[in-house]
Chain A
């Protein structure tokens, strides 16, 4: 009942009283895109959409983009407007959890900015379709986060003798860490520093436990 009313209101050109998922002010790249979508045929639209979704998944889509640029009958400028608009539109929709942005609302919002019905269906199938999980995990990886430890190895060395110390007998720990961002670090830890490190790690764990108890 209410969606029919809303559809009527949109058709009449009256704005709906809810802020769309794109925000109070539609991003300019999305607005520009909607103008250029009018000249697009379905096949070309789908090709570009596919490439943009690929990019959102973190894949390298230079080849497909180049192919589209070369074989399509769009100018480079038009293509860039469409790509930018699609990317922003999808990114904004993906930011919201699937539970808070419902498909019908999403479609209504796109109708509000005058995107053609057949294109709306394609956009919806990206956001609410089977590939949503893949897109979500790609987004999670791109989020602001520091590296973590992917691999941690150690060994204990004992320096028996050195050029400056005939009788050293000094144990030392060598640590090798591979981080999740691909970097690797190898460093030595003197025994005294190791004790300090171990104490601090235990303290961190205690703090984390205490914090979670307080909050829950």
Chain B
């Protein structure tokens, strides 16, 4: 019963660490975590626990460990002096299984410093009347690109394309696709 309880609190602690470190939720502070999860232990004891868990999580996340690597790593940690207990290792394992992709995604985006494409919206209009007769009944694509970077407001770019231009862009996309496939198959 006590074991289940402490697992629950450790899980909560790991979640809190993830929120603060990886999901940029600054509301989850050390103080909050202590008060909510470990009100009965001393400040010093809590701090030690927190730092240890942060360190372990950092190692796991930085190496983006797969589950074999994780098992090996955690087993080593349980055998170490000042490492983690078997019970804590189990909690860490479960936590990583649930959060691996999300944390990785967050870390990747932390090294994106330029604008990145957030969204694409589009519509197709039909030009029915114009000064120039040859534009009548010509389809026009209107595309809005949302570009942004973390912490800044998005920039919206509105573009228009005729059919030939859309074709041209599609060809480029196919070239890019080929390039990516070549890389991902080789890695």
Contacts and interface: CB of A to CB of B under 8 A. Distances in A.
A95 interface: yes
A152 B137 contact: no
A44 interface: no
Interface stretch (A10-18, A124-132, A157-165): A157-165
Given A146-B159, A204-B122, A171 B184 contact: yes
A139 to B, nearest CB: 7
Contacts of A146: 142, 158-160
A27 interface: no
Interface in A161-189: 162-175, 179, 185-189
Given A190-B116, A212-B139, A164 B63 contact: no
B184 A211 contact: no
Nearest to B124: A207
B173 A165 contact: no
B131 A97 contact: yes
A67 interface: no
A104 interface: no
Contacts of B179: 156
A146 B158 CA distance: 7
A143 B129 CA distance: 13
Contacts of A185: 115, 145, 147, 157
Bin the interface of chain A by size: 35 or more
Interface residues of B, number: 53
Contact of B107 (A147, A148, A164, A204): A164
Interface string B158-178: 111101011111101111110
A197 interface: yes
A98 to B, nearest CB: 10
Given A187-B114, A197-B173, A198-B173, A211 B131 contact: no
B116 A156 contact: no
Given A166-B63, A168-B108, A215 B126 contact: yes
A24 interface: no
B90 interface: no
A173 B141 contact: no
A156 B62 contact: no
B180 to A, nearest CB: 6
Contacts of A202: 170
Contacts, number: 150
B131 A149 contact: no
A1 interface: no
Contact of A187 (B117, B139, B161, B184): B117
Contacts of B169: 149, 152, 201
B80 interface: no
A171 B180 contact: yes
A165 B116 contact: no
B148 to A, nearest CB: 9
A65 to B, nearest CB: 27
Nearest to A181: B159
A97 B133 contact: yes
B68 interface: no
Contacts of B112: 172, 188
Contacts of A190: 108, 116-117
Given A194-B177, A204-B122, A211-B139, 8 more contacts: A97-B131, A145-B160, A166-B62, A168-B111, A188-B116, A194-B173, A197-B173, A198-B170
9 contacts: A148-B160, A159-B111, A164-B110, A165-B108, A166-B64, A170-B108, A175-B117, A185-B157, A188-B114
Leading 5 A-B pairs by shortest Cβ distance: A162-B111, A208-B139, A187-B115, A188-B116, A146-B160
